[in-house]
Amino acid sequence: MDLIHLCFTLLCATGLSMLGWRILNWVWFRPRKLEKILRKQGFKGNPYRFLVGDIRELGKMVAEAKSKPIGLADDILQRVVPADFDTVKKHGKKSFVWLGPKPMVYLMDPDLIKEVVTKWNQFEKIKAVNPLTNLLVGGLAVTEGEKWVKHRKIINPAFHVDKLKNMLHAMYLSCSTMVNEWEKMVSADRQCEVDAYYYLENFTSDVISRTAFGSSYREGTKIFQLQREQSGLVVESLRSLYIPGMSLLPTKRNKRMMEIGKEVKGLVRSIIDKRLREVKGGETHQGDLLGILLDSNCKEIEQNENNKSFGMTMDEVIEECKLFYFAGQETTANTLVWALILLSQHQDWQKRAREEVLQAFGNNKPDFDGLNRLKVVNMILQETLRLYSPVPALSRTVNEDSKLGDITLPKGVTIQIPVLLLHHDVQLWGDDAKQFNPGRFSEGVAKVTMGKASYLTFGGGPRICIGQNFSMLEAKLGLAMILQRFSFVLSPSYTHAPHATITLQPQHGAHLILQSIQP
């Protein structure tokens, strides 16, 4: 018994020693080694501080930036991405910060960025340290490797041009609801004040509900409300130090995130189950994203001799639907609201865009081909996306020692591609980089960027956003229909406060004065 007891004690001691070494290596030796490698290659940043790194300072920067608005002529970078802005300003474009014991390297060389987004299998999207953050968005946004290839193949048919043409009418119905409501509001005095962001969120939510599920906005209202709350909770968790196992603690935030995740999954599941019952009953729904997705998934399984491993599981379909809801609604609403804010300040471009729209459609319903011929409107949206990119940064992880140009990034480093900083870089865009000048896109994106990876609104490489054409079509339609009926200026009550949650939004809404241009 003494021998057994001794062996057990030795095993426990060995186990504890190994665990202690792994913890010590994680919080001290490994970070110091990574720091030495990065500094040898010319990267600059603050010295590593035990466990916390730069997290406290970064959190203070964000809180302080968010606490007060800025002027319309002020640089938005210091408010939207204060940590990125401060780090690059202090240490240069070849810099890094500490996210706890893990260094995050800034990458601002377009050639190196192109290499990163092209080699998507080597530089993968970051897996959430806190597993609860995956409750917000899954699907194509987070899958990797062969699973991503399979999902992309199944989903691709939903975004073909012919499918988008069929969805335009649903988009038109959603936008008509919004502009008709605005017309009622301006009817008394021929002008009124509205928070455009509130209405644009409802518009894009309704579009997703109609085009994704063939339902009205009301059926999806609960999902949108829950996803918006979940987004805020995810941002909170990302800005705090996470220690493995913390997601299992029954904290108020953890419990609420779990509750929301379960409820959203149940709501989406009920929509899918209802659709499957309708299909079994002989109804067809080939015109919406869910119908196309389910049909494509079935065909993929049938083509592989009914082997379900070639298709998506029901849980995977649910994750893709959640992604439709979140990404499809937020990015387009944000693009449109910043476009209206910019056009409110630049009446010359608002006038040019309206003249183009009225010449193309008059007061008639915009059609697909006509929308694609709107050059001025397209230039305005591209410039809006440059100045107010919906996603301020892209992140990738280095899973193995990797050569990138003339530098070597060691395993364990995170890559940060500061999209917003790139889009405002005078070295890439000229002295007017921070000014609204849609004319820079008069000959297209490729011409102005000269093929460099300096315009990353929808990402880049093979993993470029699958819904970019859907989003641009919706944004063109929305802007065209607003310009057909209204002129607009910023309200005296408007507060300029762009801020980033998951996407770039106006913190205090977008208060505009609408004026009817209809006789």
Kindly state the tokens that stand for 64: 């302080």
Torsional class of 92: left (φ above 0), alpha (ψ -120 to 50), beta (otherwise):
left
Strand partners, 394: 417
Q: What is the CA radius of gyration of the chain?
A: 25
For residue 358, with 0-12 CB atoms within 10 Å meaning exposed, 13-18 middle and 19 or more buried, which class applies? middle
What angle is formed at CA 264 by the lines to CA 258 and CA 269, rounded to 5 degrees?
A: 125
Q: What is 315-358 written as a DSSP string?
A: HHHHHHHHHHHHHHHHHHHHHHHHHHHHHHH-HHHHHHHHHHHH
- pLDDT of 192 reads 93
Which amino acid, one-letter code, is at 281?
Answer: G
- pLDDT of 181 reads 95
Length in residues, the chain: 519
The answer to whether the CB of 340 falls within 8 A of the CB of 510 is: yes
Q: What is 85-116 written as a DSSP string?
A: HHHHHHH-SSBEEEETTEEEEE---HHHHHHH
- Tokens 């960027």 correspond to 449
- Distance separating alpha carbons of residues 465 and 69, to the nearest angstrom: 31
- pLDDT of 305 reads 65
The answer to whether the CB of 457 falls within 8 A of the CB of 385 is: yes
125 in helix, strand or coil? strand
The answer to whether the CB of 52 falls within 8 A of the CB of 100 is: yes
Helix, strand, coil percentages, rounded to 5, for the chain: 60, 10, 30
φ, ψ of residue 178 to 5 degrees: the values are -70, -50
- Tokens 């980033």 correspond to 500
- pLDDT of 243 reads 62
348 Cβ contact partners less than 8 Å away, ≥ 6 residues apart:
none
CA atoms within 13 A on the CB side of 450: 4
The H or E element containing residue 517 is: none
- pLDDT of 148 reads 82
Q: Which of 225, 503, 493, 176 is nearest to 337 (CA)?
A: 503
The answer to whether the CB of 140 falls within 8 A of the CB of 152 is: yes
What pLDDT digit, counting tens, does each position of 220-232 carry?
Answer: 677 777 877 887 7
> CA distances (Å), 353 to each of 307, 331, 346, 376, in order?
52, 22, 11, 6
The DSSP symbol for 456 reads -
| CA of residue 44 relative to chain centroid, distance | 28
Q: Please identify every stretch of the chain with a pLDDT value under 70, giving residue numbers as ranges.
A: 1-17, 19, 127-133, 215-220, 238-248, 282-287, 304-309, 519
- Distance separating alpha carbons of residues 229 and 224, to the nearest angstrom: 9
Q: What is 172-215 written as a DSSP string?
A: HHHHHHHHHHHHHHHTTTSEEEEEHHHHHHHHHHHHHHHHHHS-
Cβ-based neighbour number of residue 199 at 10 Å: 22
The answer to whether the CB of 342 falls within 8 A of the CB of 328 is: no
- Tokens 């060995």 correspond to 14
- Distance separating alpha carbons of residues 240 and 243, to the nearest angstrom: 10
Kindly state the tokens that stand for 223: 């999902």
The answer to whether the CB of 175 falls within 8 A of the CB of 217 is: no
Greatest Cα pair distance, the chain, in angstroms, is 99
Q: Which of 37, 201, 32 is nearest to 102 (CA)?
A: 32
The answer to whether the CB of 466 falls within 8 A of the CB of 152 is: yes
- pLDDT of 308 reads 56
What pLDDT digit, counting tens, does each position of 256-299 carry?
Answer: 888 988 888 888 888 888 877 877 776 665 567 777 877 787 77
- pLDDT of 208 reads 85
- Tokens 């299998």 correspond to 121
- Distance separating alpha carbons of residues 452 and 504, to the nearest angstrom: 24
What angle is formed at CA 289 by the lines to CA 460 and CA 270, rounded to 5 degrees?
A: 120
- Distance separating alpha carbons of residues 221 and 199, to the nearest angstrom: 13
Kindly state the tokens that stand for 518: 């209809």
Kindly state the tokens that stand for 478: 């929305």
- Distance separating alpha carbons of residues 82 and 60, to the nearest angstrom: 10
